[in-house]
A and B are shown apart, each in its own frame.
Chain A
């Protein structure tokens, strides 16, 4: 049995505005090291909501969450920030790069925050990550000088900078055209196969989901297949 890096136990989530609705119902599952999992399901079934909880950004839920064996519930905001910084890489539908910084600096920021290495080493690593994604030539540009697909690859490089335990993505290809989507998906596959990176990706594209190790399917806040 492989090592479990993420485990959800009986997670329930309610929204109270305007009326109380339960959007997640008894979600329990776990992700192993080096696993490439995808989450699929109809729009509004609670995929994003689940991902925000798993990524520790949303703390308003019931149930238990373990990342790398640590119980997440009840931790302080600063501790959660540290866990996100060190163990989780997040890729959003929108790239969310900081336009005030160069591409390189954007990739470096989470590394500088973690500060486990010197700035020089972090810069070197950032270049390596950009190279994996094939955009090392854009390093010194400003994010708004890049195409949508390039931006999303920068965001993936940023997610990789601290060698996270797991990369989570909420429809990372949702905003891209077919060609760029394929490039990004190929990158995820490469990360999973060659670098044994654990990934948990929410997607609408069933053909992509088919090519992951494991599909978690949701319906109305519950997992119906995993």
Chain B
């Protein structure tokens, strides 16, 4: 096949209608630009919002749920084996909410190859005493260094040094909202009542802000030691183990396995945060829908241009056929024109899309809620560019398909007779 000739004829036809073809190409460029920008921005937004929760959520959380016993004594009794036994108002027995044998579990987990790290945690319900008012809140006892390594704790400490939590005995970092309610500033001492009625005084060494108001209003952090002392429990007392895996997608399987092995409750991140994935999914879907709509509109532009060109060039098509070009050749000529518009428009679209995303990336985005974000988030995922490129080619191909077929079917006799 003589591609050089096809391309040369296509180019001449294209040049003869340069203005219109340029406009058609600009349509493609515009839609691809918007497509890339939209997806990059949405992608950035998605990972930011996901990060807000997911970065600080353990992939698997091990804890001890206080539940009534699964089997009541009557179930075991041989006298009533064949009967249905109804026991109402079952209550859990007095059990401590901590993980038994936590030391051994931590050691086992840390030697597991799939595990990136384990951060132990104590969850303690407390009251913060402000004058005569008690505010309910939570003290999270954490292993400061491990918490920072796995969940970038320091990113959210907006005032004070997170390491003070470890270095200063009896210290606490308060949620910004909580500190505001208590009018407590760094250096102040706050009084806390535990659920068993014991009172303890802790020194405020910083604030943290997670970006989720509900959390910032009730949560606070202290070191494991401080919390254990506050609760009057031994060193081994741990209520939660936060496990971070190398591959987040393994979480459900690993959770199941741990639940069986250690005889504790285990919840994976996917189950705990399914609504976030739905949100990301919907946002991505909308971006794709808008992008594809733009492309389809651009496709109609190309379709129009080609139809017009074919209408104008009937004589030329007839003479090409009369002098030995086959229908297939004519078809190829017009497909080449369509694809040229698509490729050129698409390449510029990808470049402009990259440029526009880069500009958005520079726009300051200051929000109280998101201490780590300084500019609008943008995700430069090459996947968007590949999809955008493929889409531009596919739409232009289909936009060119029908006009080209029409051109290839032109009967030279009809045209020549018509003169």
Contacts and interface: CB of A to CB of B under 8 A. Distances in A.
A binds B: yes
A99 B324 contact: no
Contacts of B2: 112-113, 115
Nearest to B319: A96
B365 interface: no
B321 interface: yes
Contacts, number: 75
Interface string A114-135: 1100000000000000000000
B39 interface: no
A84 interface: yes
A28 B156 CA distance: 97
B323 A109 contact: yes
A226 interface: no
B5 A100 contact: no
Chain A, interface residues (CB within 8 Å), range: 20 to 34
B327 A98 contact: no
A84 B323 contact: yes
A139 to B, nearest CB: 17
A102 to B, nearest CB: 10
A29 B340 CA distance: 49
Contacts of A82: 324, 326
A86 B323 contact: no
B412 A57 contact: yes
B200 interface: no
Contacts of B328: 78
B419 interface: yes
A84 B322 contact: yes
A41 to B, nearest CB: 17
Contacts of A57: 321-322, 411-413
Interface stretch (A32-40, A87-95, A145-153, A201-209): A87-95
B178 to A, nearest CB: 76
A109 B12 CA distance: 12
Contact of A100 (B316, B411, B419): B316
A78 B322 contact: no
B322 A100 contact: no
Contact of B322 (A86, A90, A114, A115): A90
Interface in A72-111: 77-78, 81-82, 84-86, 90, 92-94, 96-101, 109-110
20 contacts: A55-B322, A58-B413, A77-B326, A81-B321, A81-B324, A81-B325, A81-B327, A81-B329, A82-B324, A84-B322, A92-B322, A93-B419, A98-B12, A100-B316, A109-B9, A109-B323, A112-B5, A113-B324, A115-B5, A158-B323
Interface of B: 2, 5, 8-9, 12-13, 15-16, 315-316, 318-329, 411-413, 416-417, 419
